[in-house]
Every structure is written in C-alpha cells, then in structure tokens.
Chain A
C-alpha cells in the first residue's frame, strides 16, 4: 500500500507515492531519477549515498523515504548553480580528488555539509568529516587538499 511522500529536492518540490519500506536513496534514484547519488553497500557503512537533509549530511540508505517527508534535501545534482560549479566541485577538479568517481557524490555532499556547519575546519576535522565515506581510489589525501584549498578561500562561490 503506497503512501504519499512530499519533499523538496534541490529546491524543487516533489509529490510522489512510495511503498513504506522504500529507502530514501531508492526514492531519489528510482522514483525521481536523480542517479547522481550512488549506493555501495547494504550496511550504511560506505557513504556513497550521502546527501544533505535539512542541512545535515545523512546516509540516504539509512532512512526510509517516508521519514524524510517534508524535508529539504540537497543531492549532488543541486550543488552547481546552473552551469557554475560550486567551490568544492572546482577544487575537486583542480586537485584530482576523484578517480573512478563512484564515491564522489557522497564525498562532495559530506564535505559540503561539513563546510556549511563549520566553514573553517582543521585538517583533523576535515578527516573526521569524511570518515564515513570510503574511497578505494584516491587515498583521501587529494580530497583533503581540495577541501583545505576551499577553506583557505582559493575558490569563490557562484553568484
């Protein structure tokens, strides 16, 4: 028996019907066709599905879609303003902070949430901010360098 789910994703309101057991990541990917958010495990341990829910970094596989009823969600698709990439996205490009790219959406959402909450984190705080995200390709240090560059003010926000 499907239930109604109302939520805002990347500034756009959606009104859909989902089964009660549908996870938020499934609602985003399968119902709203926002496939930028990935899924890498069944134990809420890898972080590939990280999104921002009401300003906080959340693993979207760890909550039911209906639990997000009425929430404001930002996914990877919502970071750029039009064609202008966010400072973190630009920094990732410059620092090669991605290789296969499968963890990248989760990493960008985790780091975006981190800087939203704490605009001047220390290196240790940056490491803690992405401790829930596994990357098998980069060894994390290029991601930390990219975030550090943004913290230092090397990138401007799009207007």
Chain B
C-alpha cells in the first residue's frame, strides 16, 4: 500500500486558530439584534400534579415580553426512539404532571436575564404532591407509585439477549461465581452548558443555533413538537463546548426558546445555568448488576448470565439504547459459548438517565472485568492469561448478534503484559489492575425512524482548486471537522489546507445522525470518502481525455499531482485539471456526493475497536485515599487518520472514565441531587490526572474509510474496571460499587482487618 499524504500525519486541527485566540463564537456568545433572554421555571417536587399555573404577575413585570406554559404547546410528547410511540413520553413543558425535580413547567422571555429570573419568582404554580419513588429496586414493586400511567411495575423497557444454553452450560462448569455490583450515575459536565438561540420569523421559518451533537435530530424533533415542516426549521451548530452524549436530544433550552420565539417573532436565547445542567439535563444510567459466571478449571469461560436493573429516571430518552448496549457489551470482549442477558429499565422520579460516552459499556466493563479478575484468582490463573484464553479474535461471530472483522485484542494483551512485567515488583500498597474492552463504531439501529442515509456528504471543487466539504457531522470537540477534512483531502489527492468544511447546518448540509455511538469517523468518513471519490472520478475522466495515455495505465492524484500510477513523472497539476474539467462541464463546479448506511451488519455495529488498559494506583491505608499514578493503554482503532486527535481522545477518556471509577458521583436525597455545582461535584483536575501512556496496535478495518474505526467512546470503557482491579491488587479489597471512594476503601480495609482477627 502506498504511503498516505494526509492521513496519519500530525496536523493542527482545522478549528485551531479560532479556538486558541478566543475568536470561535459558540452559541454561548451569540447575540442577535432584538434578542430576548429566556429562563425556565422548574418543578421543585419529584412527583406532583400541576393544578394551576398563574402567570399574570410575571407577565406584568416590566421588561417581560412573554410567559409560556405547556398550554402554549401542541401538547405532544417526544422521544428519540421515534419508531416506538409508547417510548415518546416527554412533553418537555409539562401540562398535567411533573415527574422529577427540575421538570420544566413554564418559561419566560425578557429584555435581560435578571428580569427573566425575577419573573420566574412571580409565576404561581399550584402543585398536588404525589408519592414518589427514587430507587429502581423499590419502583419495580407492585405497590410502588406509578411514574407513567399504564406502565406496570414502572418497567419502561425490558431487553433480553440469549444464545446457547446457559442453564445446561452452568452444569458443566468447574467453578461458578455470582456477584452483585452497583454502577453510579455520572454528569457530563460539558464546559458549555446546554444553550440555544431560536429565531422564528414572520415568514413562519425557524432558525436554531444550538450547542448540539446532532443538528438533524434537533431539526426533526423540533418539527415533531412544533408542527412546523422539517424544512422550515434550520438548525445550525456553532463551535460546541462538549457533548459526551448529553446534547443530541431535544432539550428544554431549545424547546422553550422555540415556543417563546414563536409567540414573539423575536430571537430568544436560553442558556442553562450550571445548576440546571446538573439537575435538569440527562445523565449516565445507574445500574444494579447481577452477574453469574461459569468456567472450567483451566479458565475457559463457558457461560455468563447478567441481570440488570437500571434507574431510568422520569422519561425514556436514550435509556433504551443504554439498556441494550450494556447487555450486549457484557459479552465483550470474550467468546462466551452460552450467554443470557435480561435488562430492565425502571422509571423513577429522578432526573432522566440517558446517553453518556460509553453508553452502558463503562458499566458492563467495570462489572465484567472486576468479576473476571475474581474468577481468575479463584482458579489460580493470571488475569492476562484468562483474558487471552477467552478473548475475541478477528472474524469472530457473536452468535446472532454481531460479526467482528478486525480485532487486535490479543496484540493489546501482549503489549500490556509486557508493560506489567517491565514495571516489575511494585512498592507496598501499589497495584496494577488490567481491564479489556471492545466497542462499536456507530450503531446500525434506526429507532429514530429516519428515511435518510445515516451519513452523507457533498464535495464541491471550485475553479481555484479549493474544495468545499458539506457534511452533517458534528464536531463537539472530538475533532470530526479535522478528521473528515483529512479523509477528503487524502481521497481527492490534495492537501488539508485545500479543504474547507461546512458542517452541521441543516440548511446547507446533508443530514447526518450526529456525533454519538462513536460513529462519525467510520460512517461519515465513508460518506466523505465516497463523495471525494466521485469528484476524483470526474477529474480523472478529464485528465484521461487530456493526456490520452495508453489504455493500460491508471490515474491517481496525490499531493495535487494528477499522474499515471506506473509513471508518476507523467502528470499534470491538479489545478490545471480542475480548470479544464469545469470548462468541460459547461462552467459548473465539480460536485460529488457520498453516503453511508450500514446494511446487513448484524444487530449492533459495522465494526468494533478493542483495547486493554493497565491502571497503577498507590493506596494510603491510613485514609483509604489512593493516587492514580499511571494509566497505560494498548488499543487499536484500525488505521489512524488523525493521530493528534486519537491521543487527545484517549487522554480525555481516561479523565472521564477514571473519574467514573475514582470520584464522580451524584448523591441524591428524595430525588434531589445534592451536589449540583462544580464546587461540589468532584472530578479529576490536573493534579489528580495520572501519567498516560499509549501503545498503538496496527490493525485495518475493511468496513472503515482507509481502514479506520472508532476510538473516542471505547476508550471510556475500561478505566473504572482497571482501577477496581488495581486497588484490589494493591491492598486486597474489592469494591463493587462505584465510585471507589476513599471512604469505601477504608471501610473495606477495616473489615478485612476485623476478619483477620
């Protein structure tokens, strides 16, 4: 294979200069003429009937232009699982009932934020509090309060995955373990909170500027909720300050701003406060995990059974996907001949649990990798050895579920084994824990019920050779703008600086499902590659006519040089070919189209990435406190398109996934989140961040553009499990519920001491 000219190179991100100079304009910065400022009034009760809302005093406050409630909407319910109407259960602006503390009931538009805030206090809402339920294990009982009418046992969704015969297989096992775990919630903590500027004009058209992971999803959901035609809504994604799974569903900032703007025909801006961000946006799904694992004494895993009950919160949102994926990834990354998963998502009167980077897999990886280490210890087998014995290999089929093409898991295991050996004998109370994972490159599912291709791109070549790339892909910091520009440049045979990307504006870009499930590089990358190839074909048609070489020769373009593959010295400048080709097309710019939708790729994803992580900790047995010293990751993501991007994703993932294991939590009391501020929500800062080492494994994924597959989400899976295993290796205590706090470690150490005596 010839060396690539663009991909694989260390480049500046295409949005770099504007970001390091403070000139990037986020939705947070947007100001429009005659723009008003909005605020949302939210329920103080976890469960209550709305008896009456009196907005008269608020409306009379000087500076207030409009006050809206659920009565000003069409009264529709929405949800991201559009194909299943019973799962579209969220009104956003509640009409009859509120179901969690923070559920919106009214919104105000005023001349400034202070006036809007003051107006909220003047809105009188009469509630009839109802009995509420907060823990899914309580909510699933016969006599629990019903969060949604007609939903028995508050079971929102249940999912079942099964292959082989688990019951028979357990009979053949030499050793069986049953363990219980509790996985906590986690807040996304995007640096830019949810925000939107919505402008509805007198012509009946709506423009939305918003911090989002999917401008297309917002467009479609907004149309569903407002009754406007999809095409009369334009959603524009400015530079966006983080998403991590929190920003691809229709949220209260967007919807309330829209309803207000439609009343006033003026732009309305709503920016959620950090407290609203913690309490009234979606969060990671907490799960109760019951695992049963059976193996032969040589370490061959024969059967695994998982039962999971998840805390759904008040509405479905993306909870259904998290429920399915946690069950699917509970079987990763090992070959289980027999497997059964039963998952139940249970409504509770708490903030909605939905998608967060990893999507159920950080939970399944924490519990699975913890239990596997315990099994290894029971059998007297080395933890790397047991993973090696059962690890997935290329071209493996997960029965009835997925076909894994490229898989570098074993090379990753080898590298981590080397790393652990090199560390040698560790000081006392130090430990290294290992954790392996596999993750998807986007999903094959169409629960959104879109008629569009999942990804699409248009490439346009102008007379000066500059290329405009139009795509719906959303750069939320992960660098898709840069990665896709690199793919376009490589395919077309030009330089990165020749590409100008226009992304995520539904008015001019083809739809894309958005940045979630780690899909942009593979799915959108394929669409971009196809569009660029289309343009290249048109250019080469002209080049062939112009140069008229012997028919046995092939053309290629590399680094702006259109040439014969076998005789690279015979060629013409790309710029000259472009000029001629445009003339040859009656003066039309060269345009190419591309798209990608996975077909017949199993039940989950067209491709999977794998990795193994080793976390080293040092525990202070006096206080239970421990330090994350080092996290070394061996991983493979197919061909690396954007190396700076991947390193950034890996290190960032360690901060987030490490935080999940180490310190992040949202303790609640009667449905009220107790730490809704950055002062109180602990996350990893620079002083807590471990040293990070990356060991790249080379693989090639046939399904992906130039052989690439995902990286951003998979890397969020292993760290909590690696930390748990490391703490055990260091001081011999096993913590089965996240996060692994110093208090829990200290308590476990004391109990261990007691048992000894």
B is bound to A: yes
Whether A131 lies near B686 (C-beta < 8 A) is yes
| 0/1 string, B163-192, CB within 8 A of A gives 1 | 000000000000000000000000011111
Whether, in the assembled complex, A76 has its beta carbon less than 8 Å from a beta carbon of chain B, the answer is yes
Whether A139 touches B654, Cβ cut-off 8 Å, given contacts A43-B677, A96-B647, is: yes
Whether A100 touches B677, Cβ cut-off 8 Å, given contacts A139-B655, A141-B689, A142-B651, is: no
Within 8 A of B (CB), among A84-133: 85, 89, 92-96, 98-105, 108, 127-128, 130-131, 133
Q: Which of A100, A130, A131 contacts B191 (CB 8 A)?
A: A100
Whether B20 lies near A99 (C-beta < 8 A) is no
Q: Which residues does chain A contribute within 8 Å of B653, judged by CB atoms? A: 139
- CA A94 – CA B9 in complex, angstroms? 12
Whether A96 lies near B678 (C-beta < 8 A) is no
Binds A, one of B127-135, B471-479, B532-540: B471-479
Whether B20 lies near A100 (C-beta < 8 A) is no
Whether A102 lies near B21 (C-beta < 8 A) is no
Whether A131 lies near B20 (C-beta < 8 A) is no
- Least CB distance from A53 to B in Å reads 17
In the complex formed, the residue of A with least CB distance to B240 is A100
Whether A100 lies near B192 (C-beta < 8 A) is yes
Whether B648 lies near A41 (C-beta < 8 A) is no
Whether A36 touches B12, Cβ cut-off 8 Å, given contacts A46-B678, A102-B191, is: no
Q: Which residues does chain A contribute within 8 Å of B15, judged by CB atoms? A: 101
Whether A75 touches B22, Cβ cut-off 8 Å, given contacts A93-B16, A136-B655, is: yes
Whether, in the assembled complex, A69 has its beta carbon less than 8 Å from a beta carbon of chain B, the answer is no
Whether A100 touches B274, Cβ cut-off 8 Å, given contacts A43-B679, A142-B651, is: no
Whether A85 touches B677, Cβ cut-off 8 Å, given contacts A99-B478, A138-B648, A141-B692, is: no
Whether, in the assembled complex, A37 has its beta carbon less than 8 Å from a beta carbon of chain B, the answer is yes
- Least CB distance from A157 to B in Å reads 16
Within 8 A of B (CB), among A49-95: 75-77, 79-80, 85, 89, 92-95
- Least CB distance from A136 to B in Å reads 5
Q: Which of A39, A85, A96 contacts B648 (CB 8 A)?
A: A96
Q: Which residues does chain A contribute within 8 Å of B16, judged by CB atoms? A: 92-93, 98
Whether A100 lies near B477 (C-beta < 8 A) is yes
Whether, in the assembled complex, A16 has its beta carbon less than 8 Å from a beta carbon of chain B, the answer is no
Whether B242 lies near A136 (C-beta < 8 A) is yes
Whether B647 lies near A134 (C-beta < 8 A) is no
Whether B652 lies near A42 (C-beta < 8 A) is no
Does more than half of chain B's interface fall in helix, strand or loop, or is it mixed? loop
Please classify how large the interface on chain B is, using the bins under 10, 10 to 19, 20 to 34, 35 or more: 35 or more
- CA A128 – CA B190 in complex, angstroms? 22
In the complex formed, the residue of B with least CB distance to A79 is B21
- CA A75 – CA B22 in complex, angstroms? 9
Q: Which residues does chain B contribute within 8 Å of A32, judged by CB atoms? A: none
- CA A145 – CA B188 in complex, angstroms? 25
Whether B22 lies near A99 (C-beta < 8 A) is no
- CA A104 – CA B316 in complex, angstroms? 35
Whether A102 touches B241, Cβ cut-off 8 Å, given contacts A136-B190, A138-B651, is: yes
Whether B477 lies near A42 (C-beta < 8 A) is no
Whether B689 lies near A139 (C-beta < 8 A) is yes
Whether, in the assembled complex, B26 has its beta carbon less than 8 Å from a beta carbon of chain A, the answer is yes
Q: Which residues does chain A contribute within 8 Å of B244, judged by CB atoms? A: 136
- CA A141 – CA B691 in complex, angstroms? 8
| 0/1 string, A133-159, CB within 8 A of B gives 1 | 111111111111000000000000000
- CA A13 – CA B163 in complex, angstroms? 72
Whether, in the assembled complex, A40 has its beta carbon less than 8 Å from a beta carbon of chain B, the answer is yes
In the complex formed, the residue of A with least CB distance to B659 is A136
Whether, in the assembled complex, B50 has its beta carbon less than 8 Å from a beta carbon of chain A, the answer is no
Q: Which of A43, A130, A138, A139 contacts B274 (CB 8 A)?
A: A43
Whether, in the assembled complex, B507 has its beta carbon less than 8 Å from a beta carbon of chain A, the answer is no
Whether A42 lies near B274 (C-beta < 8 A) is yes
- A residues with a Cβ closer than 8 A to B are 29, 34-46, 48, 75-77, 79-80, 85, 89, 92-96, 98-105, 108, 127-128, 130-131, 133-144
**21 A-B residue contacts at CB 8 Å?**
A34-B22, A40-B193, A41-B274, A43-B677, A44-B679, A93-B13, A96-B13, A99-B478, A100-B239, A101-B241, A101-B477, A104-B22, A127-B686, A130-B686, A134-B678, A136-B242, A137-B242, A137-B477, A140-B689, A141-B651, A142-B651
- B residues with a Cβ closer than 8 A to A are 12-13, 15-26, 28-29, 188-193, 239-242, 244, 273-275, 476-479, 644-645, 647-648, 650-656, 677-679, 683, 685-687, 689, 691-692
- 4 additional A-B pairs beyond A40-B191, A98-B19, A139-B651, beta carbons within 8 Å, are A35-B22, A35-B29, A42-B275, A133-B686
